Amino acid sequence: MGEFFHVIDGRLEGSGARFDVINPARGVPFAQCPDASREQLDRAVEAARRAFPSWRERSFADRRAYLLKLGQALEAAIEELAPLLTSEQGKPLDRARDELKRAAAQFDDLSRIDIKPDLLRDDAQGRVELRYRPLGVAGAITPWNVPIVLAAPKITQALYVGDTIVVKPSPYTPLTTLKLGELARHILPPGVLNVVAGGNELGQWMTEHPGIDKISFTGSVATGKRVLASAAATLKRVTLELGGNDAAIVLDDVDPAQVAPRLFQAAFVNSGQVCMAIKRLYVHERIYDAMCDELVALARQARVGDGFDPGVALGPVQNKMQYDRVLGILEDTRRSGARILTGGRALPGPGYFIEPTIVADIAEGTRLVDEEPFGPVLPVIRYTDVDDAIRRANDTRFGLGGSVWTNDLARGEALAARLEAGTVWVNHHVGTEPTVPFGGCKESGLGREYAELGLKGYMEAQVVKVPRAPR
């Protein structure tokens, strides 16, 4: 796979320390990654601070032109980078290509959004505007499930509004992000985008660093709480997009055979390793057994394996810690008395593979329902009364997404609006759009990414009052 380097002030740098990157389909190291020192982080932040004054003075159109070139460079490198992404993340090769293509498009899509002053008052007393200024240096900490498609919007939002940025990818999947940094160093002015790789210690250094003005973090609730506590010492602006335990509620007027494929895809996409995937499926008792049968058939048809093998639909769980956690939840599920209709076990051989699993006759009070498994496991929960299903869906500390599935769109809209989540859908689940804000409520996050609201999260609001000139 060759050498990998940090990108600091437009230059490639190695580190004295390195760590192994594991191929989750085989469970063994396939590459080594440089492990950034504190001194290297300090220099990355210093480079970003030096680059900030001239970068913020550029126009939105000028900064957009740079981002378009970066998106085009990523698009041109898809065939080179997709095998690397599959090797470190595990997803099927075609899914890796899709992720890189989506990430490349975000550099264009997010930099098309206008950020204009808000006119608050214009009268005899004078004019009052709410303007938005770049914050300074942003720090982005990205996760391992979709590393590039979650790094690209953070980079784009920060750079488009006039911030500079330091990016830290997950130590489980750092390599493709480092390669993105290498592409950027030939396009962006030095210091505008810096990419440094390392473990949890590097993330803490970033959240504590007085030279970083904002942290955008995507990851688990537990880590997000530590990020927020650490950032409080310097009152950094913080955006947190954290875990979800999304509920989907299926009403009794749908045809299970028609709806099940979409529900299955929304639950098992990326082997269930998506924050907004369906994690709890509430199904009306009238169609419960038929829905379970349909989902079981789909789970048994889904081919699991190495992402490089043709026809594979689901790859491995990305890392050993998460693999062990999912297997532990499945063991608790067996002890609970729930019925595992299909799957429920690790696949033989190397790698972190778990059978696609459908669980029936389960309810709240079990780990599988109350926690976010983040793996290829779906509990199907029976309900009788839809008001009770809404109550049960909302009885959680999570609040990222939720959905209602019905042939009555007006009823579906009314019920979806009662779900306590940052995004709710009718007859759909999973997905983001550049012009639609995304984020969670409760413990699923703070702030929003994407759209004008997300861009303004990388800026500081400023009130400007100008009196009316005397006549």
- pLDDT per residue as tens digits for the range 36-76: 999 999 999 999 999 999 999 999 999 999 999 999 999 99
Q: Are strands 18-23 and 28-34 parallel, antiparallel or unpaired?
A: antiparallel
Predicted confidence at residue 1, as pLDDT, reads 59
Predicted confidence at residue 2, as pLDDT, reads 78
Give yes or no: 275 in active site: yes
| pLDDT by 10s per residue, the chain, length 471 | 579 999 999 999 999 999 999 999 999 999 999 999 999 999 999 999 999 999 999 999 999 999 999 999 999 999 999 999 999 999 999 999 999 999 999 999 999 999 999 999 999 999 999 999 999 999 999 999 999 999 999 999 999 999 999 999 999 999 999 999 999 999 999 999 999 999 989 999 999 999 999 999 999 999 999 999 999 999 999 999 999 999 999 999 999 999 999 999 999 999 999 999 999 999 999 999 999 999 999 999 999 999 999 999 999 999 999 999 999 999 999 999 999 999 999 999 899 999 999 999 999 999 999 999 999 999 999 999 999 999 999 999 999 999 999 999 999 999 999 999 999 999 999 999 999 999 999 999 999 999 999 999 999 999 999 999 887
User: Which 8-state DSSP code applies to residue 287?
Assistant: T
The catalytically annotated residue of 99, 241, 372, 449 is 241
CB 378 within 8 A of CB 250: no
E-assigned strand segments in 330-432: 339-342, 357-360, 377-383, 401-405, 423-426
Predicted confidence at residue 52, as pLDDT, reads 98
Residue type, 322: Q
Question: In the chain, what are the domain boundaries?
Answer: 6-242, 246-426
Predicted confidence at residue 242, as pLDDT, reads 97
The catalytically annotated residue of 275, 292, 355, 372 is 275
CATH topology of domain 6-242: Aldehyde Dehydrogenase; Chain A, domain 1 (3.40.605)
Biggest CA–CA distance in the chain, Å, is 85
CB 21 within 8 A of CB 29: yes
Torsion sign, CA atoms 139, 82, 75, 278:
negative
Domain 6-242 matches domain 246-426 at the CATH topology level:
no
CATH topology of domain 246-426: Aldehyde Dehydrogenase; Chain A, domain 2 (3.40.309)
Taking only the tens place, the pLDDT of each residue in 331-378 is 999 999 999 999 999 999 899 999 999 999 999 999 999 999 999 999
Question: Taking the model in full, what pTM does it have?
Answer: 0.96
Give the residue among 164, 65, 113 at the shortest CA–CA distance from 437. Answer: 113
Number of other CB atoms surrounding residue 271 within 10 Å? 30
Predicted confidence at residue 18, as pLDDT, reads 97
CB 218 within 8 A of CB 228: no
